[in-house]
Amino acid sequence: MSRSATTIEIDRPPVIRSGPLRWLKENLFSTWYNTLLTVGSLAIALLLAVLFGHWALTEAHWAVIPANLKLLFVGTYPLDQLWRIWATLYMVALFLGFSGGLHRGLILQIALMVAAATVLLALLPFAWATRLWILATALSTLVGFGLGRLTRQSRTSRWLEISLWLLSFPLTLVLLKGGLFLPVVGEAHNVGGWNKWGFMLNLLGAVVGITLSLPIGILLALGRRSSLPAVRLVSTLYIELIRGVPLITLLFMASNMLPLLVPTTFRPDIVIRAMMTITAFSAAYMAENVRGGLQAIPQGQFEAAYAVGLGRMLTTLLIVLPQALRAVIPAIVGQLISLFKDTTLFGFIAILELLGMVDSVLGNLQWRGTIFELYIFIGFIFWIFCYSLSYISRRIEKNLGVGER
Amino acid sequence: MRSILKVLGVVLLVVAVVLPLIASADTLSDVQTRGKLICGVNSTLPGFGFLDSATGQFSGFDVDYCKALAAAIGLDPGNDIDFVPLTAGERFTALQTSQIDVLIRNTTWTLTRDSQALGAIFAPTTFYDGQGFLVRKSDNIKSLKDLNGATICVTSGTTTEGNLADAFREAGLTLKTKVFAKTEAAFGTFDDGGCDAYTSDKSQLASLRTISKDPSNLTILPETISKEPLGPLTRQGDDKWFDVVKWTVFATFFAEEKGITQANVSSFQSDNPSILRFLGKEGGLGAKLGLNEDWAVKAIEAVGNYGEIYTRNLGPNGLAIPRAGSLNASFKNGGLLYAPAWR
């Protein structure tokens, strides 16, 4: 048996081809069935786009949106008092700019985003007066930013910032609803209560709900992990009872059953009842989110805190909660987004928020049958808000380094 | 300390139980003290109650009756009404629990609703409606009998569903329904061919036909399968308030009968004693209702007589529901609208 000398073949380094064509071939047309799927899906997508485009350009009555813009956003809010809504917006923009000027970083980005959005909004075909009102929001952010930059060295400006944000909550309510020095909207004007304020109610409901449900949720979460049996029992019962019932049921109870039990004199109006309900509902979910964060804190953290002489209270406040909350920021923002969307359920208890307002607009013979136009529009509005929220949440996570440790 | 708390608790309990009784006993003086009429309305029904995009205010047939009532009490119909939009499911609870003073929301007068069961009481009917069917001409359905075994789209939570079942049972027909929570969904399904017929009150059929993809192919069957007298409701046990609502409605009938209109009511000249009493120039009828003497004048000034209210909201420029020859005509023209003696 003779052995011939074998030549060793050396593999050449593979040629890496790239480029869009290559990507297409590898991802979309790699096999015959993938090719079929790609072509089929493209055809369906194209068909839908053409059908929708045809409808949107030729059949849809988009005039319904500009004609009812005021109703959809602020409902029956009296025209001569509209400046109060703008004032509220300017206040928030000013505070945002101020905080942005003080800290830069993320908060500045948010402020800039808001300013950019208002400038974009002003490009839409509004009346010139409306455009000026809108642009003043961006101006307000700039003024706030300038103030923040100028005073960033002083310690008092930090305190001022915190108190301003705390004050913004009651100030918003006073500005919008009235009280102190402003006439109460709904008493002096033919707009009834504030149950017909359109999209403003969705925003108010979400802000009130999230601001109040976070502290309540934290307390409930701590309560559920408490060593005191009574506190633990009450917290657990509350959380499980509320979570076991759909929100719409709770809203129906607040709308229909509460009035049967509580006499007129002590009965809060329907909007307050709805806000209380959504806060109570959200607090139970918030508690479970926070509890998830609390459970993620290793025992070592507690022990280390005790070892340096911190009491239970301080351990919770300074060591445990900051870490726990940081870990659950995505969950909390998710809760905020779903709370915001849940406010549309107010429409089912005859509160004319955005969705309820749409039904009311459809009740006008002039606008009958424009249901798709209106629903597409409000879907778009909700998408803008919810997407911005989740974008901000991603930035917060990045800034805090959540998920990188 | 303990005993003080106990006493306080008992007092609070008593207050809680007694207050609603006090509060609901005299709606008229409640409304007058409050300076505001709280009117439960529909915010989504063309012609009857909706938000007008031009003015941002409530508008419609039922809404006009809220305004007439407010004016009769001596309030400003433009500013002193709080309109509470209500869903069909909420309206009776809202009335029972004093969330509203009066319910004027296209509500059908039935025995059950008028009885102790709901604790409501019906003022005179302002609009005689009736349930009918909307079908496609191309389906060649000519009468109720042709609907045997057909699928019918209907909205739940109203008398509509019950009437439908009754009518089919009576005629010995097989009934297949598709039930929806929302009018838009029910009608949309019918319009897309998902049902053979759509049933609702004829006034609503008239308004829905206008938004169909092919209105000329739709027709309303001649049969009316139900009585749907619609009118205002108040709470039982408050007769004084009920009288005010009832006679405000009659005032709009009476004004039409005598030719008194929104334009001429303030300067109306007549020697007819009952008209003089209507105008508050003699008789002291207002005091008997607990109102000012010019209460009827104010009501007509606010919204006009029945004919004017009807034309404004349901006439040719709106829903275009023909009035002549219908039950909604004045008794002089063969209809059912009749005001009792004004003395």
Residues B276-300 have pLDDT tens digits of 999 999 999 999 999 999 999 999 9
How far A143 CA sits from the closest chain B CA (Å)?
34
Calculate how close chain A gets to B4, using CA atoms only, in Å: 22
Strand, helix or coil at B132? Answer: strand
Provide the residue ranges of all domains of chain B, joining segments of one domain with +.
Answer: 25-128+230-258+306-331, 131-226
Q: Is beta strand B151-155 parallel, antiparallel or unpaired with respect to B176-180?
A: parallel
A-chain residue closest to B82, CA distance: A192
Q: pLDDT at residue B122 above 90? A: yes
Number of neighbours of residue B327 by Cβ within 10 angstroms: 17
At A297-310, the pLDDT tens digits run 999 998 999 999 99
Confidence of residue A143 (pLDDT cuts 50, 70, 90): very high
User: Do B25-128+230-258+306-331 and B131-226 fold alike per CATH?
Assistant: yes
Its CATH class, for the domain covering B25-128+230-258+306-331, is alpha beta
Strands B233-235 and B120-122: antiparallel
Is B18 a residue whose pLDDT tops 90?
no
| Amino acid at site B68 | A
Look up the CATH architecture of domain B131-226. Answer: 3-Layer(aba) Sandwich (3.40)
Helix ranges restricted to H, A61-154? 64-74, 83-103, 105-123, 128-150
pLDDT at A186: 60
Map tokens 């001022």 to a residue: A160
Q: Compute the distance between CA of residue B130 and CA of residue A318 in angstroms, rounded to an integer.
A: 69
Structure tokens at A360: 């009311």
Distance CA A336, CA A328 (A): 12
**Helices in A225-328 by DSSP H: which ranges?**
229-243, 247-252, 258-261, 270-295, 299-307, 312-314, 321-327
Q: How far is CA B12 from the centre of its chain?
A: 38
**How far is A216 from A235, CA to CA, in rounded Å?**
11
If one counts every other C-beta atom within 10 angstroms of the C-beta of residue B207, the result is 24
How many other C-beta atoms can be found within 10 angstroms of the C-beta atom of residue A163? 10
- Judging contacts by C-beta atoms under 8 Å, the chain A residues touching residue B78 are 190
Q: Give the model's pLDDT for residue A346.
A: 93
A365 to B319: CB separation less than 8 angstroms, yes or no: yes
Residues forming beta bridges with residue B136, ordered by sequence position: B218
Of A193, A263, A363, the CB nearest to B50: A363
Query: Average pLDDT of chain B?
Result: 88
- How near does any CA of chain A get to the CA of B53, in Å? 6
Interval B229-283: pLDDT, tens: 999 999 999 999 999 999 999 999 999 999 999 999 999 999 999 999 999 999 9
**Region A277-285 average pLDDT:** 95
Which domains can be identified in chain A, with CATH numbers? 74-189 (no CATH), 193-405 (1.10.3720.10)
pLDDT surpassing 90 at residue B15: no
**Residue A190's pLDDT is what?**
43
pLDDT at B73 over 70: yes
Highest mean pLDDT among A74-83, A305-314, B7-16: A305-314
Does the structure show a pLDDT above 70 at B3?
A: no
Question: In chain B, what residues touch A364 (CB-CB under 8 Å)?
Answer: 46, 50-53
What's the mean pLDDT when you consider all of chain A? Answer: 87
Helix H, strand E, coil C: the string for A178-204 is CECCECCCCCCCCCCCCCCCEHHHHHH
User: Does the ipTM surpass 0.95?
Assistant: no
pLDDT the model gives residue A334:
87
Enumerate the β-bridge partners of residue B38: B82
pLDDT value of position B67:
97
Q: In this model, does residue A319 exceed pLDDT 70? A: yes
Question: For A127-134, what is the mean pLDDT?
Answer: 87
Q: Give the model's pLDDT for residue A220.
A: 95
Mean pLDDT score, A88-93: 92
Does B13 touch chain A if contact means CB atoms closer than 8 Å? no
B318 pLDDT above the threshold of 80? no
B229 sits in the region (left: phi over 0; alpha: psi -120 to 50; else beta) called: beta
